[in-house]
Amino acid sequence: MNETQSKSAMMDLEERIRYATELIENSDNVVIMAGIGVMMECGALNYDRDTEAYRIEEMYHQCPEEIMSASFYNVRMERFYEFYKKEILSTKLTPTATFPALEKLQKSGKLKAVLTYNIYGVNQEYAIENVYELDGNIHDNHCSKCQKKFSMEYLRDSKGMPVCDVCGAPIRPGIRLHGERMRNDILTDAVNAVSKADVLLVLGTNLFDNMVKFAVNHYQNNKLILVTKHEHFTDKAADLVIHEHVCDVMPRLVANLKEAEPPKRGGRDA
């Protein structure tokens, strides 16, 4: 048990929030890993849950993982888009208090990177930089032939399978499908960011998550803060655990942060 774990072992919820706040305020390099729980609080569905997986299989006669795979997309494109437009592109999300809290953390100069599976691009509505979207996002779509870019709305509102209005080729969605590798440049930058972090904040997931397990192997400090509603057997590997909704905790963790002053411009005295 390290020093951070020792301090947090006997703390109640309020003490844990105060301690997490102290760790963040004393840090110059915070990196965040945002899991599916962050987006579920915005209204996104989790297709790994039994109830959702069962509903999808009842409606489409395939499991979500199969439909959202590269192989299914390539051989049953029309069926893929039937699912994708209805289940993904038509999802209405409402950003929670987590996102303005991340924006405030960014403006304080402490937040250096965000790693996320968020494909909805909710963070794009806020001034949050260095976001590594490991699964891509629904807004960066392009023609599979001429590479013309298309908006999410173009795909969502198309009749049948969306095709390019220039060359007629199918449009490739901007997300990473099951069976496809993550972009190596994004993965490399994300790992480098984690390796330099003073504080690592894991939000809305657990330490068994593949993204988290991979990145934590490159984390060199002992200030890993886990904020998630649900308990998990891997919680003991975190240095500090807060079992609450992310959207309730994040605003409290950054409440006292001030916006960083812009760097002074050089020049000669008059």
The pLDDT value given to residue 198: 95
The pLDDT value given to residue 101: 97
CA separation for the pair 35, 212 (Å, rounded):
9
Model pTM? 0.89
For the chain, percent of residues with pLDDT exceeding 70? 95
| pLDDT of 179 over the 90 cut | yes
Strand order in the sheet with 240-242: 131-133, 111-116, 30-34, 199-203, 224-227, 240-242
- Enumerate residues 6+ apart whose C-beta is below 8 A from 266: none
CA separation for the pair 35, 202 (Å, rounded):
8
Give the tens place of pLDDT for each residue, 41-79: 999 988 877 788 889 999 999 999 999 999 999 999 999
Question: Which element (helix H / strand E) includes 226?
Answer: strand 224-227
- Enumerate residues 6+ apart whose C-beta is below 8 A from 136: 119, 173, 174, 175, 176
Give the tens place of pLDDT for each residue, 14-50: 999 999 999 999 999 999 999 999 999 999 988 877 7
| pLDDT of 269 over the 50 cut | no
The pLDDT value given to residue 121: 87
- pLDDT band (50, 70, 90) for residue 212: confident
| pLDDT of 248 over the 80 cut | yes
CA separation for the pair 186, 200 (Å, rounded):
18
59 to each of 54, 92, 177, how far by Cα in Å? 9, 20, 20
Averaged confidence pLDDT in the chain: 91
> Domains (ranges, CATH) in the chain?
3-44+92-136+182-253 (3.40.50.1220), 46-90 (no CATH), 139-172 (3.30.1600.10)
- pLDDT band (50, 70, 90) for residue 217: confident
CA separation for the pair 140, 63 (Å, rounded):
25
| pLDDT of 264 over the 90 cut | no
Give the tens place of pLDDT for each residue, 82-130: 999 999 999 889 999 999 999 999 999 999 999 998 899 888 888 899 9
80 to each of 54, 69, 89, 118, 142, how far by Cα in Å? 18, 9, 12, 20, 16
Please tell me which of 6-15, 59-68, 205-214 the model is most confident about, judged by mean pLDDT: 59-68
Q: Tokens representing 124?
A: 């794009």
